[in-house]
Structure 1
Amino acid sequence: MSFKIRAFILFFAFCICNIAGNGGNFDENTKLWGNCVPELHNSETSIAHMALSAMKKNGAKVAQINADTGKQLKYKDLFEITVRVAQNLQNRGYKPKQMFGFMVKNSEAVAALMFAAFAMGAIPDMCSVTLGKEDLAPIFERSKPSVIFCDVEFYDLVRESLREAGSNAKIFTLNGEKGDSESVEALFQKTGKETRFIPTKVDGINDVAIKMCSSGTTGTSKGVLLSHAALISGILRTKVVDTNSVILNMNSIDWITSLIALLLATFNGAKRVITEKPYTPEWQLQLIEKYKISFLITPPYQMVSNLKSGLLSKKKLSSIRLQLVCGTKVPFDALNEYNSYLTNGSAVNSYGTSEMASFLTIDYPKSGKDTIGKLLNGLNLKIIDENGNRVGIDMDGEIYVKSSYKFIGYHGRNDLTREVIDDEGFYRTGDIGHVDRDGNIFIVGRAKDLLKYCSKKFAPSDIESFLIKSPDIENVCVTGIPDDLAGDIPVALVVRKTNSRISENDIYQMVANQFPDHYKLRAGVFFVNSIPRNNAGKILRRQAQDIALSCAKGRCE
């Protein structure tokens, strides 16, 4: 099909959608929400093809700035290093569809290494830098990697995990060498064939492009297998940056938001600022002001921490055009307060999952409502109640979504894949919510996180969003103590602000005065030094519940 014909079909479909659209394209008969505009890209295109083409087009532009060293990398240099790495790996005998493990922070070479893997048809296997041997060894045993790229600081852990998994994978280290590792710089050598490089052809719909980590907030992190078509589709529907954007990327590359930031920047020829240093309000705000950051993706806790730091000013945030806040429910009052500092842009709610390869909703332009936004292009959504029936407008239920391209599944866990994909190909998000008449989607909470006290259900995030507004509270997590008769007895873990004198009873009364009876923190309020989170900022609920159980037994640290 020619481009002109496809463009006409797209325009025609767009007109039909806008003429027939009623409250977010809701079909009363099927009880489905959806954006019927088709996606205009070749599903056989690979990530490498998209990325390398963009690198050639934007060759003279700066692709990446390492904020830790000040070193800049232009797109033409990124293209050259990517091709050399791919060719040198091919010369060593590595093949398409082999797994290439990554256990790295956000260092300079990571982008080229990942694009090289894509270019030769290999599969980057992204391992969280927070994993220990008990988690990493089983991952290696299942994925059977041929190559591991790791920061030199993780060499001992990787080597021991490979040994336990019975793997002889070659280890390339970043930022130095150790033991039997080889520096990744050995792969940057000239080949003399750079101009003749052609990326490996892939089946965009069915071939695995990458294996990502799921958040692991309610248990062990799962390996999420994504296709080239699903990832490209996810990036193309996220129309939030352009060639003039400056993107801040603070999270390690094993999380989907960092991958999105990398692909958004590269496909659009934008500038990406990276750092290996951990988040602090001081560091993030310094980077925003110094590099005039226009776009960033952050978890809610970073936004709230910035507010509580006392360091915010309109001047420091004047460069921001759009800040996507995602990962967990955002306190609406905090979001509004943060936006009062953004004179030239907005911070908005957004929503996505690793399994769907990118964002599903973005509240942009900002609606002014406590919503995660409307469904993006190329997606369908349904709400399923407790009886398994589809429900309509303003009715709560579990959110199911479906994209143009299938979710391949969880690596080595077909049983878990079957649990989250229904007979119609919809992905079960695990989130409870509803859609209003305007197509705005509202999240109530996670199905697994909902507490049920004396047969009454409620979302712990309601209490968390209320308590975090207190100037005396730095961080908070609400969970439940299991009880045979009552169900879940609410309990709060609280990190107090320095020098705060707020008491357990103060917090108990705050909740009791604000919410219905079943919300009361009957199992107690316990002060802790920190709330367990993954490196994407999400609360690790199972670990938090274990801490609460210990506290309830008098062993709170």
Structure 2
Amino acid sequence: MEKQTKSAIIYGDQNFLVPPHLNFGAFVLQKILARNKEQAALINGATGEQITFGEMAQKIANISSSLSRLGVLQGDVVAICSENRIEYLLTSLAVFYSGAIITFFNNAYTKAEITHALGISKPKYIFLSGEVYKAQYDVIENTKIVKTYVIYDDVSMKSNCIHFRELSEKQVDIKSCKYFDFKGTPHTGMVLYSSGTTGLAKGAKITHLNLIVACLQPMMTDRNITPLTIAPWSSTMGIILILQKLAHGRTCVFLSKYNEELYLQTIQKYKIGILFVAPPLVVMFCKSSLVKKYDVSSVEIIYSGGAPITLEVITQLKERYLLLHIIQGYGMTEATGAVTQDTDKEPKIGSVGKVVPGVIIKISNPETNETLGCREQGEVRIKGLAVFQGYLGMDPRDIFDDEGYYKTGDIAYFDEDGCFYIVDRIKELIKYKGWQVTPSELEAVILQHPAIKDAGVTGTPDTLAGELPTAFVVKQPGAKVIEQEIIDFVANKVAPWKKLRGGVIFLDEIPKTPSGKILRRKLKALLSKQSPQKLPVSKL
């Protein structure tokens, strides 16, 4: 790449050979069929359950054919709400293959959150784990949106439910199983939920073309080493990483939830070579005493996304474990995963790497829209074959600029070699262990408490978690309420990563602009004045 010294638009490699049918499910199935049928494709690190590429191909064909018999049509929305499990990916790929649209609900969603997500994508069909079925069936049924339920586990079921094995075990001839041909026209294939700054999650429309391009991007390493992933597949990082690895023919080990000892046991048992983690797990490797009990010498590379890793942590990891590389990337739902990514070829410490294939970046002055140059800080704006169509129900003019670039809200710059560095974000999202937490959503919940007059939320910096959601509240006149009462009130209404782990600070007034917008920079300034004894300490 030429040295960058002036105003520029930075391109990733745009050379792609995409299939004319533009069906992501067919694209992946063709890749799978080209692999050694006896090679393990997926391994559940907790249970040891696994499936080969050959078995996977057959199951995808079986399920896709069954979806047709169920009446699933092109464009219908099918949802999954489950922990990570082999059936999850089989279902997803079969839905793509059939031409329907897949969407994922996090299995830790509260009743309010799953109701909100259902209202966005309106799925006719939903696949549930037994645990989610028991906890959420009544909530989902009350929305009158879902027509048919498919349950992964053996549980007592209602009459509108069927068991997953009824779809997956009816054998069909793979060669006769027809995929939906989109004939070169991009269509939405997946809806992922992306938290914004103005309220609850928004449904991002990801096309089959977006997904194909994301999976055609080169691997960050060409070493034939086994990856371990723990990110939930309802998240962008989780689902895109696992789909990429399958498309490239890699055996993938996964876990459905984090447990420190199980995580380390899995690394030792399967001789894991590359870890895909959020920054809190990186810190765990630095500080954990349990690590000494297990042989983790197989780990050559740690790939981290979601928040920057400090130079100090990188140095400690390399010295302690003799790692070859710690690679960072910068991505988002709206880019179908990575925007920039480092590789193990020439990693630059502190950088989040160069633009990935399928993405175009410009750095813009957010006020004037002027395109900026080398080492000039501005807003990251992106477009290209990997960039999403927009949000369900939102006017594209609100999220794309006049040239069609998505306005990310993140502040960054690039150097002379085209490597990017994330500085800050215009967005007010709190990043807790890689999860996005919307301050305005938490504020709305807190204000439901009768003793609270006003509230503002921001993130307290934390070494382990990145940021801890922290509330500033103003009491109603004469009201009596204590910190723990507010923490418990919120905890009962939100997903685990949205809890007020940063605590509650009482104020006489929330700082705001004349137009009424909360001045979060002033809230952060107030945080910096808190004594160390009053600041929270997080635990992994």
- Classify the TM-score, shorter chain: 0.7 to 0.9
The residue that corresponds to 1:67 in the other structure is 45
Q: Which of 259, 272, 286 is equivalent to 2:265? A: 286
Q: CA deviation at 1:99?
A: 0.5
Q: CA deviation at 1:77?
A: 0.5
Q: CA deviation at 1:126?
A: 0.9
CA distance in 1: counterparts of 2:136 and 2:360, whole angstroms: 41
Q: Which of 115, 131, 134 is equivalent to 1:137? A: 115
Contact map agreement 1:491 1:524 (CA 8 A) in 2: no
The residue that corresponds to 1:347 in the other structure is 326
Residue 44 to residue 335, structure 1, CA distance change in 2 (3 Å): farther
Contact map agreement 2:38 2:53 (CA 8 A) in 1: yes
Q: CA deviation at 1:449?
A: 3.5
The residue that corresponds to 1:435 in the other structure is 414
The residue that corresponds to 1:14 in the other structure is none
Is residue 22 of structure 2 the alignment partner of residue 22 of structure 1? no
Q: CA deviation at 1:40?
A: 3.2
The residue that corresponds to 1:357 in the other structure is 336
Whichever residue aligns with residue 9 of structure 2, its letter is L
Whichever residue aligns with residue 330 of structure 1, its letter is I
Q: How does 1:107-186 map to 2 (within 5 A)?
A: 107-180=85-158, 181-186=161-166
The residue that corresponds to 2:236 in the other structure is 256
Is residue 500 of structure 2 the alignment partner of residue 521 of structure 1? no
Residue 165 to residue 488, structure 1, CA distance change in 2 (3 Å): closer
The residue that corresponds to 1:42 in the other structure is 19
Contact map agreement 2:10 2:362 (CA 8 A) in 1: yes
Residue 36 to residue 307, structure 1, CA distance change in 2 (3 Å): closer
The residue that corresponds to 2:72 in the other structure is 94
CA distance in 1: counterparts of 2:377 and 2:526, whole angstroms: 19
Contact map agreement 2:351 2:419 (CA 8 A) in 1: yes
Contact map agreement 2:214 2:386 (CA 8 A) in 1: no
Contact map agreement 2:121 2:191 (CA 8 A) in 1: no
Q: CA deviation at 1:171?
A: 0.8
Whichever residue aligns with residue 483 of structure 1, its letter is P
SS of 2:55's partner is helix
The residue that corresponds to 1:206 in the other structure is 186
Contact map agreement 1:101 1:149 (CA 8 A) in 2: yes
CA distance in 2: counterparts of 1:523 and 1:491, whole angstroms: 11
The residue that corresponds to 2:204 in the other structure is 224
1:21-78, Cα deviation, whole Å (9 max, x unpaired): 223xx7x3x5322235522333643211221112212212111112222122111111
The residue that corresponds to 1:506 in the other structure is none
SS of 1:340's partner is helix
Whichever residue aligns with residue 80 of structure 2, its letter is F
SS of 1:350's partner is strand
Whichever residue aligns with residue 411 of structure 1, its letter is L
CA distance in 1: counterparts of 2:203 and 2:81, whole angstroms: 14
Is residue 404 of structure 2 the alignment partner of residue 425 of structure 1? yes
User: Alignment RMSD, CA only?
Assistant: 3.0
Q: How does 1:378-393 map to 2 (within 5 A)?
A: 378-388=358-368, 389-393=370-374
Q: Which of 21, 28, 33 is equivalent to 1:51? A: 28
Is residue 377 of structure 2 the alignment partner of residue 396 of structure 1? yes
CA distance in 2: counterparts of 1:447 and 1:191, whole angstroms: 52
Residue 93 to residue 367, structure 1, CA distance change in 2 (3 Å): closer
CA distance in 2: counterparts of 1:310 and 1:234, whole angstroms: 37
The residue that corresponds to 1:326 in the other structure is 305
The number of aligned residues is 466
Q: CA deviation at 1:81?
A: 1.0
Residue 297 to residue 215, structure 1, CA distance change in 2 (3 Å): farther
Which moved further from structure 2: 481-490 or 122-131? 481-490
CA distance in 2: counterparts of 1:332 and 1:301, whole angstroms: 15
Is residue 461 of structure 2 the alignment partner of residue 483 of structure 1? no
Residue 401 to residue 476, structure 1, CA distance change in 2 (3 Å): closer
What TM-score do you get using the length of structure 2 for normalisation? 0.78
The residue that corresponds to 1:235 in the other structure is 215
Is residue 388 of structure 2 the alignment partner of residue 407 of structure 1? yes
1:189-218, Cα deviation, whole Å (9 max, x unpaired): 324444411221125652111111225687
CA distance in 2: counterparts of 1:264 and 1:36, whole angstroms: 17
SS of 2:16's partner is coil
Whichever residue aligns with residue 431 of structure 1, its letter is D
CA distance in 2: counterparts of 1:491 and 1:158, whole angstroms: 37
CA distance in 2: counterparts of 1:484 and 1:86, whole angstroms: 53
CA distance in 1: counterparts of 2:467 and 2:306, whole angstroms: 16
CA distance in 2: counterparts of 1:244 and 1:333, whole angstroms: 29
Whichever residue aligns with residue 51 of structure 1, its letter is V
The residue that corresponds to 1:196 in the other structure is 176
SS of 1:115's partner is helix
CA distance in 2: counterparts of 1:218 and 1:320, whole angstroms: 40
Contact map agreement 1:297 1:323 (CA 8 A) in 2: yes
CA distance in 1: counterparts of 2:465 and 2:108, whole angstroms: 23
SS of 1:114's partner is helix
Contact map agreement 1:204 1:229 (CA 8 A) in 2: no
1:270-302, Cα deviation, whole Å (9 max, x unpaired): 1111222x2133222221121111223211111
Q: CA deviation at 1:487?
A: 4.5
CA distance in 1: counterparts of 2:263 and 2:523, whole angstroms: 32
SS of 1:442's partner is strand
Unpaired segments of 5 or more residues in structure 2? 431-457, 473-509
SS of 2:68's partner is helix
Contact map agreement 1:371 1:441 (CA 8 A) in 2: yes
CA distance in 2: counterparts of 1:317 and 1:491, whole angstroms: 42
Q: CA deviation at 1:322?
A: 2.8
CA distance in 1: counterparts of 2:234 and 2:282, whole angstroms: 21
SS of 1:355's partner is helix
Contact map agreement 1:241 1:295 (CA 8 A) in 2: no
Whichever residue aligns with residue 35 of structure 1, its letter is G
Residue 408 to residue 56, structure 1, CA distance change in 2 (3 Å): same
Instruction: Tell me which of the two structures has the higher relative contact order, counting C-alpha pairs closer than 8 angstroms and 6 or more residues apart.
Output: 2
Which moved further from structure 2: 30-39 or 247-256? 30-39
Q: CA deviation at 1:142?
A: 3.5
What TM-score do you get using the length of structure 1 for normalisation? 0.76
CA distance in 2: counterparts of 1:339 and 1:205, whole angstroms: 46
Residue 523 to residue 170, structure 1, CA distance change in 2 (3 Å): same
Residue 316 to residue 215, structure 1, CA distance change in 2 (3 Å): farther
Q: CA deviation at 1:144?
A: 2.4
The alignment-based identity, stated in percent, is 22
The residue that corresponds to 1:4 in the other structure is none
Residue 408 to residue 488, structure 1, CA distance change in 2 (3 Å): closer
Contact map agreement 1:281 1:302 (CA 8 A) in 2: no
Residue 329 to residue 160, structure 1, CA distance change in 2 (3 Å): same
